[in-house]
Amino acid sequence: MEVHIAPDQQAIIESLITSGRFRSVDDVVAEGVRLLATTEIIRQKVQVGIEQADRGDVLDHDTVFEKLRALAAMAGTSNR
């Protein structure tokens, strides 16, 4: 696969390698692809949430906090 990278992006890649953050161009590109994939998953989940909200399928804050408190209480007793 051949990839063309703009000069400003090349400078960023070189800086990341020089700083020791990454060992190679391949490592930088792999991390970029991983982050892009993660961003797309988040974008899809946000879209699902938007669609749920549009349908009125949401919880009010009191209900959410009641559920969180119950979960926290269960977690607190399981650590003992």
| Tens-digit pLDDT profile for residues 27-71 | 999 999 999 999 999 999 999 999 999 999 999 999 999 999 999
Indicate the length of the chain as a whole number: 80
pTM summary value: 0.66
Confidence of residue 78 (pLDDT cuts 50, 70, 90): low
Residue 1, pLDDT above cutoff 90: no
Q: What tokens were used for 76? A: 């607190």
Tell me if residue 5 falls in helix, strand or coil: coil
Q: List, in sequence order, the alpha helices (H) in the chain.
A: 7-18, 25-55, 61-78
